[in-house]
Amino acid sequence: MVFFGISQICRNFCNITKMSKSALVILAPGAEEMEFIIAADVLRRAGVKVTVAGLNGGELVKCSRDVQILPDTALAQVAADQFDAVVLPGGLGGSNAMAESSVVGDILRRQESSGGLIAAICAAPTVLAKHGIAAGKSLTSYPAMKPQLVDNYSYVDDKTVVKDGNLITSRGPGTSYEFALRVAEELAGKEKVLEVAKGLLVAYD
CA 96, CA 150: separation in Å to the nearest integer?
18
CA 90, CA 123: separation in Å to the nearest integer?
5
Residues whose CB falls within 8 Å of the CB of residue 102, separated by 6 or more in sequence, listed in order: none
User: What residues are annotated to the active site?
Assistant: 122
Residues whose CB falls within 8 Å of the CB of residue 72, separated by 6 or more in sequence, listed in order: 51, 52, 53, 58
Alpha-carbon radius of gyration of the chain: 17
